[in-house]
Structure 1
């Protein structure tokens, strides 16, 4: 237990004034060029790359690089519209399967294996 206080308490007002730290940028927010961002994101998208290590090396906060990377990945997302599939006759008389995925058209002979066609469609959707 603490000992009882012996009388009046005094308080002192302390005023703190923020100063600019040595080496800190003069403006509140740093502005990064689009070229710098593109190089950083390209490096961060490499297989096995450590975003935190790259950010540390570049002198930026990892959350900044994660945000830039997320923006690029979101922009790359494929359309959510379902694929359309049609079977048409080619000029040689063979049946041809035509699958439309957004702006991509995949054409294959009708005798193509289902497994191979599925791999091609997955690749087209992820591109």
Structure 2
């Protein structure tokens, strides 16, 4: 709602000074040291990492960590590991699993999550 216009049609000059908005957090921005940021990113880039859980562990917003991760990957500073590391992979050959008349052959590089999805699909078919 606006104030009524003065009868002499003059204007008033208002000075507005920006201040902290009521809805903004009262804490100031944190300045993360590069070593800490690198350690947090390393955890978040692990193949089986839950980025939101990593962010909560360090008391930060998951969106901030997702942003760090996206920028680091875009700049080529880090790479996401999509395949399991050598220490997690089996040293043996192929494993054969027979379920409901279907033969499933599993190599040493398949992830546990992917194998679970395949087994569930075969069981439900």
Q: TM-score, normalised by structure 1?
A: 0.35
Greater strand fraction, Structure 1 or Structure 2: 1
TM-score calculated relative to the size of structure 2: 0.36
Higher relative contact order (CA closer than 8 Å, sequence separation 6+): 2
